[in-house]
Amino acid sequence: MSSNDDGHFSYFAFGSNMLKQRLQFKNPSATFYSTGRLKDYELKFGYWRVGVTSAWKGAAATIEYCPGAEVWGVIWTMSNSNLSSLDNQEGVQRGIYSPLEVSVETEHGPILCRTYQMNNLIVDLPSPQYKKVVCLGAEENGLPTEYLNKLKSIETNGYSGPSLLDQLKI
């Protein structure tokens, strides 16, 4: 884990957790550190197994190794006391995501961060609500315009009912 001596760790968010309000919903210690770029990975959306549903009513974001690609996101500094709540949110114990340590490029130099990669990815489309939260997080934190436009162009599944977005009161 990318923990430092003061009881905090760095977390690289590339999906809905880029939005401060979403991340702090269950992880109140999260503090913005920087935006960053993860080289040799690409952003994907999917499920971890067939027939599963999500609170977002669509596929969730993950990263997949892909030489030459890049994923932009947000680096948060978090208290070690929120490590278990973050793991729970990402479904680590249920086998949905696995923690991964990655080196993220920032304007301050490379930062070693904890992030999460979906297990057994089955590619599918995110809901419009999930995509909205991802794009809001990218906008809120000033990710590059070119990358934001790429996020905005992601196709969705067209779902229009209630979702986790309703709990965030955005």
Structure confidence by residue, pLDDT tens digits, 83-117: 999 999 999 999 999 999 999 999 999 999 999 99
107 flagged as catalytic: no
pLDDT at 26: 87
Delineate the domains of the chain, giving CATH numbers in brackets. Answer: 8-155 (3.10.490.10)
Please write the tens of the pLDDT for every residue from 113-134. Answer: 999 999 999 999 999 999 999 9
- Residue tagged active-site, from 90, 101, 140, 155: 90
Residue 108 CB: number of other CB atoms within 10 A?
Answer: 10
pTM of the predicted protein model: 0.94
**Coil, strand or helix: which one is 149?**
helix
